[in-house]
Structure formats: C-alpha cells, structure tokens
Amino acid sequence: MSQNSLSDHPMRQVFRYLRPFRGEFVAACTWSVLNKIFDLMPPILVGWVIDSVSRQPPQWIGNVVGTDDPLTLAAFLAILGVGIFALESFFQWRYQLGFMSLAQKVQHGLRMDAYNHIQTREIRFFENHRMGETMAMLNDDVNQLERFLNSGFNRLLQLLILFVFCGFVLFSTSWQMALIGMIPMPFVLWGSIYYQSTISPRYRRMRETVGELSSRLENNIAGIMVTKSFTAEAFESQRVAIASENYRQANFDAIKLSSIYVPLIRTAIAFGFGGVLLVGSYWVLKDHGILTVGELVLFAMMIQRMLWPLTELGMTLDEYERAKASARRTFGLLATPSTIVDPPSPKPLGAVQGEVAFDDVVFRYDHGPAVVNKLSFTIKPSETIGFAGATGAGKSTLVKLLLRFYDANQGAVRIDGVDVRELAQTELRRNISLVSQDVYLFHGSIAENIAYGEPEATREQIVKMAKLAQVDDFISTLPDGYDTIVGERGIKLSGGQRQRLSIARALLKDAPIMIFDEATSSVDTETERAIQENLLKLTEGKTALIIAHRLSTIRHADRILVLKDGRISEEGRHDELIGMNQTYADLWHIQLGDLAAPRPSQQGVEISASN
C-alpha cells in the first residue's frame, strides 16, 4: 500500500475490512434503501388522501378499491398508512442491526490488526513515539471509524436514495415544478464540496492534538510520584493546559466552520421551497389543471423532505472527515513496515547449545556516535559471563542486539554460529530469558505474572521458582498469597519485590540462554547474596550473561568483560581484574567505599576477546 494512495483514499482501506462480510453489508444496504423509500411515502400518502377526499382519487386506488363507498376508501387509506409505517419501522430495525453488527466486526478486526502490527514494530518505534499517541490510534481513531460505520455511512446512503427517489417522484408529477424546487441544489452541492475541502485539514489537526493531549496525560499520570516528590504539580498542570488549549483551539477552528454551514444551507433551501409554494399555489388557484391540490401538497412536502436533510449533510460530512482523519492515522500505522523483520527462509536453531558471539559489531542509535565499536567476544556454552563498566559503556545495548531489538550496523551477532538476522524472531527470543533492569509487571495476580509466557505452568512450578528467586517468603505473608493482585505495573509491590518476581518469571521460562540486566539492583544485600547462591545453581548448564553496576553480583562469574566506549578494555576473573588495577579495580574500590585506593591508569590497555 503506497503512502500516496493512503493519503488520497484512506477510507477505501476501511471498506476492505467489509469484504469478508459482503453478504451482510449488501443486506444492510438493501434494508436501508427500503427503509428510506417507505420513509418518503407519507408525503405521497397525504397527496393521495387529499385527492381522495376531494373526490379525485388516483386511478390506481379506484381500481384496487373498486367502489366509491367512502368507508371502504377511508379504510383502505388507513390500512395503507399503517402498512407503510410498519414496513418503514421493520426495515429500520433491520438496517440498524446490520450496520451496527458490521461496525463491531470491523472495529474488532481493525483494532486487532493495528495492535498485532504494533507488536511487530521494532523497539525504536516505541522509543520514538509517545505512548498516548499510540493509544489514541488504538482507541479513539478506531472508535471514530466504528461510529462512522454505525451511522455515518447509512446517512450518506440514504441521502443518495433520497435524491433519486424524490427526483423520480417530482419529475414524474411535474417537471416544471421539480426544476423550480431544485434551484438551490447547485449552491448546496458547491457549498458542501467547499465545506468538505476546508474542514478536512482542521479535523486532521484536531486528531493530532488529541494524540498529543493523550500522551501528556498518560505521561503525567504514570509519573505522578515523581511529580509529587518534586512538587511539580503546577508545572505539569501548565503543560497539560497548553496541550488541552491546543486541542480546544483545533476543535474550535472546526466548530467555527461547521456551525455556519447549516444556517447557510437552510437559507438556500428556503428559496426552493418558496418557489414551489408560489408557482404551485398560483396554478391551483388559477385552476389550469396542471396540478391538483393533493399534488401541490405532495410537492411542498416532498421538496421539504428532499432539501431539508441537506442541513444534516454538514454533520454527515463532519463525521466522514473525522473518520477519514482517523483512517489516515490508523492505516498510516499499518502501512509502515517494521525495520526488524524475519528473513524469507529462517534458519532453524534446533537444540540450542548456548554459544553467543559478537563478531566486529558496530552499532549506533540513529545518527549518533557508535555505542558499540568493533566489539568481538565469544561466550562458550554453559559459561557465565559478567559485564561491567561505567554508565553509557554499552552494556544494555548488548542485550538489545542479542534479542534483536536492534540490528547491528556492521558485524554480526551469532548464536551457535548462526547470525541472529537469519533466525525467526520468535525462535530466537524463545531461547533467551531476560531479567531487565526496568521490571514490568502486568495487572493480574502474582502467579499470573510469574507464569507469564508459560500459561501451562503448574502452581508447584511457580512456587518452586519463587523460592529460588527469594520471593516465596514474602508472598506467603499476603492474605491471598499467589492470587494477590499486583496492580498496574506492579504498583502495590516494592522495587525489590517486583525485581524478584521478574527473576522468578525468567527462571520459569527455562531458556538455554539467560540474561540478567541489573537483576539485583533493587534488592537488599542479604537478598542479593541469597539470589546469587541460587543463580549459580540455576544457571548450571545454561549460558548466562550478567550485566551489573553492583560488581558483587558478577564476582563469581567465569569471566568478566569490562566495557569502555563500546569496546572491551579488560577481561578476566574478579581477582585478576583487581590485580590489573584499572577500570574494574577502581569501580570495585569505590563500591567498597575505599576512595583512597589507587585510581586506574589513564593509559589502560584495551584488549578484544575473541574465540
């Protein structure tokens, strides 16, 4: 789908979602057409009644009734009226049920497609897009399209039927009167087209500002603790006020135009209605035989029924333009492919041994400096490797490259000798367990969060992993135990409790490669020691990458790699690195509080670990 095609015709994409329900759509349109036809019958019925009581009934009524008896004629007209209103009501029920059901099916399909597509997007997308804007697309924009399919499309369809049916009736009755009544039509149509072209960019701007406002509100509510701790309520209130004012102004720009549309259209319509009354009344009063009284009433009522709904055209076009703006945003999202995609023919990993290799890897975020710079090292199967270094050295970036959240600009990241870019992303990530420094818990029970990704896990398995993560004792003190609800983002738990739950979740996954990215940064020293003792057992037979600022976490690793400026500056076991008296030794002494220890040499030697 090209971006130009999407920009010109975003609503076409909406109707493509109706293809699986083509039969239901055609049926709903048919009911709508029949409903409108019977809705327009009362003016015709009134004309027949007036001519009938004037002793000039239409010929077809006389043929059907077959008598001049007033009671029989009146009864027939009454039954006819009841039948018309009954059928109009029946068809209204049918088309409303049809369109509303279709709208629900389309919005469900569209929302799921949008959400599933977002899940395929690369991490860069989420880092560069505000959460509120994404949520606005998934909720507000999809709901706007649902509202259009619920009612807006039907109004457009019925306006078309209105013009066709009324035009046929009026021209078949008196083409001269029909032309007089339709004098305002060119002005109305021109005004509607001009209105649509003018209101469209205003609604587009309105959708953008509502996304910005949603982002601001979501960001502020998520960070309410920081706001309160810095007494920044007034500052944040001002920022929300600015975003809300931008939305208000964008809305008001659209309202100013939409509010004047209906009065102008009504004024134009009044001239057509007045012309029909003037000429028709004159002809009837002069008794030229051109019109009967019933036909004049029919004309007056039908012209009003035909032209007056045009005052709703502004509202219908409003709804259409709102839906069009929402469609452009939603399908713009769907039309943008992910930059991280599976290869056409992914290689199978088979039974993963756990070898991890970085081969001359260079990586930079966007157009910034290289965060990882010609980095090479190999981790043997079942080896536990610690990564240390100052903030910004590139430690957490290694995790993103290994999980293929990003692709290396140069070089290759390999598992068991296979470039991760040649693997299916699901297979790659299924073989890696991650405990991130940014712990995220979902709203639900403790057991559900530990078993996340492993829905078939038994309660015994969940409890076992909780014990290994040193969190079972805490859970046992809760009234509901493992069924305790953790709240949004685990807000009911402390940072250390959330992190231990995250460790239990990773352990339950039982992947051959495990990554601990600052996994014990939020726990106390005693808990950290207990977790470390268990981790040594749990990572037995697995490849483990442990990234830590707190160096005691990686003290017993098989090897420690020290990163500096995206490269390995030191490599060895804990005692060996202390003996080198360089960056690692300096960090170790600082964490011990030994600030008088010798500083590392400014001429530290950089080495690159390889096979």
Asked if pLDDT for residue 131 goes beyond 80, the answer is no
Contacts of 207 (CB under 8 A, 6+ apart): 136, 140, 141, 322, 325, 326, 329
Confidence of residue 307 (pLDDT cuts 50, 70, 90): low
Q: What is the pLDDT of residues 145-201, one digit of tens each?
A: 888 888 888 888 888 888 888 888 888 878 888 888 778 878 777 877 777 778 778
Task: State the residue for tokens 């606005």.
Answer: 136
* CATH among 3.40.720.10, 3.30.930.10, 3.40.50.300, 3.40.1710.10 for 439-510: 3.40.50.300
Confidence of residue 522 (pLDDT cuts 50, 70, 90): low
The pLDDT assigned to 90 comes to: 95
Of 444, 435, 467, nearest to 553 (Cα)?
A: 435
* Cα gap 131→133, rounded to integer Å: 5
Q: What is the pLDDT of residues 68-118, one digit of tens each?
A: 777 888 888 888 889 989 999 999 999 999 999 998 898 888 888 888 888
The pLDDT assigned to 395 comes to: 82
Tell me if 560 sits within 8 A of 607, measured CB to CB.
Answer: no
> In the chain, what percentage of residues exceed pLDDT 70?
90
* Host H or E run for residue 189: helix 185-222
Alpha carbon separation from 557 to 379, 398, 441, 536 (Å, rounded): 12, 18, 28, 9
Architecture of domain 350-431+513-611: 3-Layer(aba) Sandwich (3.40)
Q: What radius of gyration do the chain's Cα atoms show?
A: 36
* Cα gap 281→232, rounded to integer Å: 73
12-335 and 350-431+513-611: same fold?
A: no
Of 299, 286, 300, 297, nearest to 53 (Cα)?
A: 297
Angle formed at CA 242 by CA 241 and CA 247, multiple of 5 degrees: 95
Domain borders along the chain are 12-335, 350-431+513-611, 439-510
Of 8, 36, 23, nearest to 156 (Cα)?
A: 36
Contacts of 532 (CB under 8 A, 6+ apart): 520, 552, 553, 556
Q: How many residues does the chain have?
A: 611
Asked if pLDDT for residue 38 goes beyond 50, the answer is yes
Confidence of residue 486 (pLDDT cuts 50, 70, 90): confident
- The values of phi and psi at residue 445, to 5°, are -80, 165
Strand blocks (E) in 127-239 = none
* Cα gap 215→132, rounded to integer Å: 3
Total-model pTM: 0.68
| Burial degree of 592 (CB within 10 A; 0-12, 13-18, 19+) | exposed
User: Class of the 12-335 domain?
Assistant: mainly alpha
Q: For the chain, what is the mean pLDDT?
A: 81
Name the DSSP class of 485: B
Asked if pLDDT for residue 6 goes beyond 70, the answer is no
| Greatest alpha-carbon span in the chain | 122
Which residues are registered as beta bridge partners of 543?
A: 513
Least trusted range by pLDDT, from 92-106, 260-274, 309-323, 552-566: 309-323
Confidence of residue 530 (pLDDT cuts 50, 70, 90): low
